[in-house]
Amino acid sequence: MKYAAITERLAGLGGAKWEVHARAKSLQAKGAPVIQLTIGEPDVATPPALIAEAKRAMDAGRLGYSNGRGEPALLAALAKRYSKRTGRSIGPDQFCCLPGTQTSLYAVLLTLTGPGDEVLVGDPLYATYEGLIAASGAEAVKVPLRPEHGFRMQAADVAARITPRTRVLFLNTPHNPTGAVLTAHDITALGALAIQHDLWIVSDEVYEELVFAGAHFVSPFDDPALADRTVVTASISKSHAAPGFRSGWCAGPAEFTARLLPVAETMLFGNQPFIADMTALGISAPSEVAQGMATRFARRAALIHAKLHGDNGLRVHRPEAGMFTVLDINATGLSGEAFANRLLDEEHVAVMPGESFGAALAGWVRISLTLDDALIEEACNRIARFAAHCMEKAA
């Protein structure tokens, strides 16, 4: 039997990257004392006020079909939120509400790219980005994000990879997996290239509210000079500890959202009204849980740095935001994949291989910051012991 070309384009870009996570869950189910540091689940429950609002809306009968763009109250809340953030008047017609950031990015890239187009994207990159880009038939062109630049995308590296086929500059700030936050200078330099070469900027900003003290979030959408070529995506999954509700959105120029609307309607035709009501309440004020998460994640990143950086040649990158830190394990002589698999088998600690996030993180692993401090410290002890064992065998 024949299959569509998309199945070939996406082959190997799905769940295979999460093999270590799946094995860790299987071992846990069998009773193994696994410390699971693979995925970015918030470390707190969804705020009770949001749960109560969802229940209230369901009890009020908000269970019918929505529309392709989003519920009026949520669109109004988004318009108010982004108008305040940008200092410009942002209208409800500049948004489209979709189930989570992942779905939003899929619809956005399907609207902006097609076969033969190129999308510039940082490497390392979130594990699903390659699939999101390939789905439309476009090609991902990797821009190296270098440790010596704090894993922040550099304009010179972007400029060297622009071709006549380039259509989109795909940003992720704050960045997963490294926790890097683009600066105002970075945005200005990257934006100048987008203007010069008439590129769209797509910015995944799902970690916007999880920036650590001392860092400052900057978005290309907030720059009036870039607003007519920028599309941003976000959701309440991280900021409001509500990943299971799958409630996200994209924001951009009104002409863009008008063109995206038929794509969204063909895919889903609206999200659930009771979840829209809950989301509208959540984004109408700063998240009541985000600041606490950011404080805890920053503290745990510092703990991991103190415990592991410089030990047996290990190097810890200090994140500025988000739910993860990355660890350079090249000194052990193992790939990130081999290190993660053996660490799970020998020490019952589950981390993500760096190779799941691109070639630039070969020889690294990603560590989640979402478990409590005591478990993080125990995991560090086990990682240090495993690294020492690797170094002894290599000597």
Taking only the tens place, the pLDDT of each residue in 98-116 is: 999 999 999 999 999 999 9
Mapping DSSP to helix (H, G, I), strand (E, B) and coil, where does residue 360 land? helix
Contact 59, 279 (CB under 8 A): no
pLDDT digits (tens, 9 = 90+) for 23-82: 999 999 999 999 999 998 899 999 999 999 999 999 999 999 999 999 999 999 999 999
Domains for the chain: give ranges and CATH numbers. 5-45+289-394 (3.90.1150.10), 48-283 (3.40.640.10)
Mapping DSSP to helix (H, G, I), strand (E, B) and coil, where does residue 336 land? helix
> What's the gap between Cα 246 and its chain centre?
14
CA distance 355 to 122: 14
CA distance 39 to 95: 28
Mean pLDDT over 360-374 rounds to 97
Note the pLDDT of residue 40. 86
- This prediction's pTM: 0.95
Mean pLDDT over 253-258 rounds to 98
Q: What is the 3-state secondary structure (H, E, C) of 6-27?
A: HHHHCCCCCHHHHHHHHHHHHH
Contact 261, 69 (CB under 8 A): yes
